[in-house]
Structure 1
Amino acid sequence: MSTQKSQKEMEYENFLKEFLEDFYHKIAYHSNIDDFENFENKIIKWIRLADEIMCIELMVNHQNKDLWFSSIIGFCYQYGIGKCEIDKSKALDSYLFAVNIKDEEVTNHLNETDHNYFKKLNSTIGKYLEFRPHNIK
């Protein structure tokens, strides 16, 4: 049994990595972070432009979904994006998971530095989304 990824799987993986980095940059470098409602509306529109259903399915089915994408998946549950029904409890659980990520053994083809980088992005996004002034509690 081969552990090598197909060309299509590698393309999906690269798409998801770029999506996670872009999401992080939209949060980290937002010029008016005090305007949360407008900011979140822009993020929702941006996700929808990225072919939301395919993107969310790829994240949910990814082997590192919890470590890399739990914050974005939580955002999708919070706002009912893609195939995610609005579920504030699942959103909060996803954010808390991202915030509380512990070191895990790297079990995929990525080197440890890359793996830790994407975990850090996910955790940072989760902290922003969980601890902003009008969080989901």
Structure 2
Amino acid sequence: MSLNKISKEDENFLKEFLKEFYRQIIKIENYTKYENILMEWIKEFFNYNEKDLKKILKLMEDHEEKENWFSSLIGFFYEYGINNNDDDDDDDIIIDKNKSFKLYLLSINNYENDKNNKKLISIYQLLNIIISKYLLSFYYYKDILYKRNIIIKEFKSLENTHVMSYN
């Protein structure tokens, strides 16, 4: 299922990374800190596995199943600029919100637009679609998530306010 230049070890790492990212995103309870939670987890995961972010991003982008399996992860990398090597050179950081948005939609649209088949070819495709939907919802509703506490406080302050209505 992979290109010849991707080793079996790298292929397995990519699959494991996708599965673990899915597990992390499902476990998140504090949505206002999801960015930090996921970025810290990715850094720890890559450090623990002694992998290079840029190399893995390149492997995902070159993979023949990149649209079906890895578009959500690639999009996350581009949305948050975590594709650098943790060096102090800010020129390596690439943040591209438009590209991430398109990548989130890619696997979802590919699946939805395939009216003839509309079947999943692998568990990795399903994981990618689920991750894409989560990340897309964060993309759209981030402002609401961050301002949720402010909105709650506003409503609580209105609890004791008397409203009069006239006929």
Give me the TM-score of the superposition, normalised by structure 2: 0.63
| Unmatched segments (≥5 aa) in structure 1 | 104-111
- Shift of residue 62 of structure 1? 1.0
Provide the residue aligned with 2:64 in structure 1: 63
Aligned-partner Cα distance in 2 for 1:4–1:22: 22
- Asked whether the equivalents of residues 100 and 123 of structure 1 are also in contact (C-alpha less than 8 Å), the reply is no
3-state SS, counterpart of residue 22 of structure 2? helix
Q: Distance in 1 between matches of 2:72 and 2:106?
A: 8
Whether the 8 Å contact between 1:101 and 1:123 is mirrored in structure 2 is no
List per-residue Cα deviations over 1:111-134 (Å, max 9, x = no partner).
Answer: x98x42100000000000101321
SS at structure 2 position matched to 1:82: coil
Deviations 1:40-95 (A, max 9, x none): 21211222331322221211111111110000111111111115610110010001
What is the identity, as a one-letter code, of the residue corresponding to 1:90? Answer: K
CA RMSD of aligned residues (A): 2.5
Distance 1:92 1:46 in 2: 22
1:25 counterpart (13, 23, 39):
23
What residue in structure 2 maps to residue 95 of structure 1? 104
Task: Report the equivalent of 2:152.
Answer: none
**Partner Cα distance (1:68, 1:4) in 2:** 14
AA matched with 1:116: S
- Deviating above 4 A after TM superposition, structure 1's stretches of 4 or more consecutive aligned residues are 3-6
Gaps of 5+ in 2: 47-51, 85-92, 144-167
Distance 2:62 2:36 in 1: 26
1:15 matched to which residue of 2?
A: 13
Q: Kindly provide the amino acid, as one letter, of the partner of residue 102 in structure 2.
A: D
